[in-house]
Structure 1
Amino acid sequence: MYAIIDIETTGSQPSDDRITEIAVFIHDGNAVVDQYTTLINPGRPIPFFISQLTGITDEMVRDAPKFHEVAKEIVQITEGKVFVAHNVRFDYSFLKKEFSDLGFNFQRKTLCTVRLSRKLMPGLPSYSLGKLCKSIDIPLRMRHRAIGDAEATAVLFDRLLKIDQAKVDADQDDKLDNTSAVTKEIKTSLLPPAISREMVDALPLEAGVYYFHDEHGEIIYVGKSKSIRKRIIQHFSIDFKSKKSIEFKNRIASITYERTGSELVALLYESDEIKKRKPFYNRAQRRSVYHSGIFSYTDQNGYLRLTFQKAKTEKAPVITLANQFQAKNFLFSRVAKFNLCQKLCDLYKSNGACFDYQVHQCNGACIGKESPEEYNKRVQLAIDAFKYDHDNFVVIGKGREPEEKSVVVVENGCYRGFGYIDESFCASTLQDFLDAIKPYNDNKDTQQILRGYLRTKHQDKVLVF
């Protein structure tokens, strides 16, 4: 049994918007045997452009039941049935969110008629409901109303069932795999329309970096994981965060990957690839240039001081950041956390005490009240918090093959890159390892990745030079 469903909403964000109408057509595998439809009061105004699109107005839903008043009916009519929709992610995500708000975990097997249409009717110019129905002569009345779209989807589904059955019969005659496309799609309905289960099953259960490509081959997302296949399956699990997440998954047309063996190498390589390729859906790490830095020096009075300035100097910064604004804010946060002096960190200009001393948040290093020895201890703690434990070291981890090891090198406090060595590799100096790696850029992100990884309970070997 199948429940063919369409909903209308106040917008496209399942986490924020609400359902205004739902229609359900029950199909027993041969024909539609029942239907249910109702307007729903969303408890909020319907935006004008949504009313223009759907024809549903605030006045129409004013006396309609609220979702909690029809929730039991929706549960009962869909119970034990496969949830069918055109782009099932959208409708299913909204219903899951509505039920989640009521404290109920709504779960149904799902089937997407977009995916099923692509498989059983390949080569059509478009698989959007309106254009698809026009291509195969399915009447589509009351477009963008739940009952109209659900009715058209039910007709489409009925036609797809007949095509599928004919294919099953033909495959049986030819003694081929006669598992129906519908059965296969129910098992893989959470996948993007262009991604097959076979493509996912072929992915490795190993650490590495993976790439999502759109239909033109363009990389739209780069990710990393200790297990590529498991992580990608997580990507495709249903959620109800936003329309953007649904659109992102629907754009994925192919998947490629690079095995790294090492989780640390996967983290570092992903960061570099994002900066190099700048995929549309990777925003957090796309920055590739770091113009500013935090520097340290000892003044004539013996106080260890921190300052922020452009990173293009002969002296290496303690840490690099994107710009002066970020560097200044970062330094303010260190001052607050380690009880440092704003004046001795170039954050407060004064001939006397800094502002924090006046409000009893500075111990008086700015006017010589606190000794350099006591003050410098806290400055060193602040520096140590964003530096490595050693200036020169190598992290040796798992390779891509049993006889191989991964190598990550840090020299003079700077990340130099990674590479691979075999079991017979002999090295006695840091230079030996430097010769074995491919150079990569050092930046704030790589520094954070390395510091964070080295603080975990990793199994890698760390050699200090």
Structure 2
Amino acid sequence: MKRNTNKFGLGDSPVANGKGPDDHDLNQSNLYAIVDIETTGGQPHQDKITEIAIFIHDGEKIVDKYHTLINPEKPIPFFITQLTGIKDDMVQEAPKFYEVAKEIVEFTEGKVFVAHNVRFDYSFIKKEFADLGFTFQRKTLCTVRLSRALMPGLPSYSLGKLCKSIDIPLSQRHRAIGDAEATAILFDKLLKINRPVVDGNMNMASEHTTQVLKQEIKTSLLPPAISKEQVDALPMVPGVYYFHNEAGEVIYVGKSINIKKRIIQHFNIDYKSRKSLDFKNNIADITYELMGNELVSLLFESAEIKRMKPQYNRQQRRSVFNTGIFSYLDENGYKRLTFGSVNKADNISMTPIIALSNHYKAKGFLFHKVAKYNLCQKLCDLYKTYGACFDYQVHQCSGACIGKESPEEYNKRVEEAIESFTFEHNSFVIVGKGREPGERSVVVVEHGTYLGFGFVDDTFSANSMEDFKEAIKRYNDNKDVQQIIRNYMRGKHKDKVLVFD
């Protein structure tokens, strides 16, 4: 086969799709390309395809097939070989993807792209074409979703267990040709569910099956257990949303100023890794809490993540902040920063300026401030010595450690550093939009400590900080929520800020 590393014979069009994704008409040409691939790993941005199989179904029967190994141009990991049986020497003489790209386009052109967990196969193939400078675009259909819709109540919808449940032979598991053939047989069975028999022959698909098929093509990007009706019912307002698994457990907490739009974005993004596919497939229900505005949504999301520690939330799960950053004046008038236990405060009887998870994080935090604001390591308890700190010896400290720089000059920079991670005001209330007309949200910070938030109606009257404190639900103060409030206050918000300094 002649090799061409620049183009692969698709003409001048930058879109390798023939008809656009909305041109397919189920009533005119029921053509489906049932696809399965094997890869070097689970991440499309770094892994490559090693095998592809395509079975063509015309709505009545399988009419054609295509299969080839593909040279991924990178080593196949041992654990992948253990799973699939595909070794490096098996693909050494196989064509590279660009050499079979035209055939893949021709085999799938004008057809619905069908696969079991379709986002996995579709995302990999899209990425391979994108690397060649072309856009691969097809309507998609997931046989996991289709099976759930047409055969509800089965114990599992994984390909292996599903085939066992309905007696589909699966002789080459974890090989593209074997899995694609099993998926094609499954798809054929699904199409023929509830078909009426006329003169001894099966007629066209039942109206119910046809409607389900059309609906599943439209909603193929949704998790298998989530219906279009559930998504349609989501509100387009600020709030916090929860993804639950089949056992009802919360596996992810998110927030948005538009709950419905954000959740649809979750479902529309291309598959990035095996973990992201597992995450999507585990979503069995969606619930939400209305919050009224962005700030309260951010604060409540952070609190819920720390409370629930959902499986798929990586950020903000830490709920214990044992180490504090403290400030005090020494006997020479220098304003010093230090770190220590929040509870014991290392014999420093004061409230921490900010709390972090551990001593390691606190030291890293202080080293960053020392570098950014030209502070003294010794006066930040990062360098133990009776003389000058190390930075002074390399001309990066101005000499506060040995009295060479005046306290007045040095303390100005310490104040700038503290200002970078504290609030502009000591005690204040942020009044924002509520969840419904006639309601307002209130967020309370007192003496630099976040106390919590609540909702009040327009008739609420407050004359002091104590009145606002009685209107809120208390939440824990920590580094994450302080960062949320600082960033929000420094942005372009329209909330009212009442200062009680």
Aligning the two structures, in what range does the TM-score lie when normalised by the shorter sequence? over 0.9
2:272 to 229, 234, 241: 241
Match of 2:98 in 1: 68
Q: Tell me the secondary structure at the aligned position of residue 212 of structure 1.
A: strand
What is the TM-score with the length of structure 1 in the denominator?
A: 0.96
The alignment's TM-score, normalised by the length of structure 2, stands at 0.89
Contact 1:97 1:240 in 2 (8 A): no
- Change over 3 Å in CA distance of 1:185–1:148 after alignment to 2: same
Secondary structure of 1:317's match?
A: coil
Per-residue deviation, 1:284: 1.6
What is the CA–CA distance in structure 2 between the aligned matches of 1:139 and 1:106, rounded to whole Å? Answer: 31
Match of 2:359 in 1: 324
Of 454, 460, 463 in structure 1, the residue corresponding to residue 489 of structure 2 is 454
- Contact 1:41–1:64 under 8 Å retained in 2: yes
- 3-state SS of the aligned residue for 2:484? helix
Corresponding residue for residue 102 of structure 1: 132
Q: Is the 8 A contact 2:325 2:362 kept in 1?
A: yes
For the residue of structure 1 that corresponds to 2:53, the secondary structure is strand
Cα-to-partner distance string for 1:204-252 (whole Å, 9 max, x where unaligned): 1011111111110111111111111111111111423210011011011
| Residue pairs, 1:202-241, within 5 angstroms | 202-241=233-272
- For 1:245, what is the secondary structure of its paired residue? helix
1:213 counterpart letter in structure 2: H
1:285 matched to 2:320: no
Counterpart residue number, 1:394: 429
Is the contact between residue 433 and residue 439 of structure 2 (CA under 8 Å) also seen in structure 1?
A: yes
Once the two structures are overlaid, the 10-residue window that deviates more, 46-55 or 445-454, is 46-55
* CA separation of 1:164 and 1:72: change in aligned 2, threshold 3 A: farther
| 3-state SS in 1 of match to 2:235 | coil
Shift of 1:38: 0.7
Number of the residue aligned with 2:288 = 257
> Aligned AA for 2:494?
Q
- Partner in structure 1 of residue 475 of structure 2: 440
**Mapped pair 1:143 → 2:178:** no
Return the alpha-carbon distance in structure 1 between the equivalents of residues 36 and 245 of structure 2.
27
CA contact (8 A) 1:93 1:238 kept: no
> Which among 266, 272, 295 is matched to residue 326 of structure 2?
295
1:114 aligns with 2:115: no
Partner of residue 395 from structure 2, selected from 360, 370, 380? 360
Q: Which residue of 2 aligns with 1:406?
A: 441
> After alignment, is 160-169 or 179-188 more displaced?
160-169
- Report the Cα offset of residue 426 of structure 1: 0.9
What's the offset of the Cα at 1:348? 1.0
How many angstroms does 1:409 deviate by? 0.4
Question: Cα RMSD between the aligned structures?
Answer: 1.8
Q: CA deviation at 1:140?
A: 2.1
My pick for the range that moved more, 143-152 or 246-255, is 143-152
Report whether the alignment pairs 1:182 with 2:213: yes
Amino acid of the structure 2 residue aligned with 1:217: G
Secondary structure of the 2:370 match is helix
Identity of aligned residues (%): 71
Q: Using the TM superposition, name which of 141-150 and 434-443 deviates more.
A: 141-150
Aligned partner (choices 187, 190, 203) of residue 157 of structure 1: 187
Aligned residues: 461
2:368 to 327, 333, 348: 333
Deviation of the 1:15 alpha carbon: 2.6
Instruction: Work out the CA distance in 1 between the residues paired with 2:385 and 2:169.
Output: 78
- Does the aligned pair in 2 maintain the 1:164–1:181 contact within 8 Å? no
Which sections of structure 1, spanning at least 5 residues, go unmatched? none
Alpha-carbon offset, residue 57 of structure 1 = 1.7
Per-residue displacement from partner, 1:350-399 (whole Å, max 9, x unpaired)?
11111101111011111111111111111100000001010111111111
For structure 2, the residue ranges without an aligned partner over 5 or more in a row are 1-30, 198-202
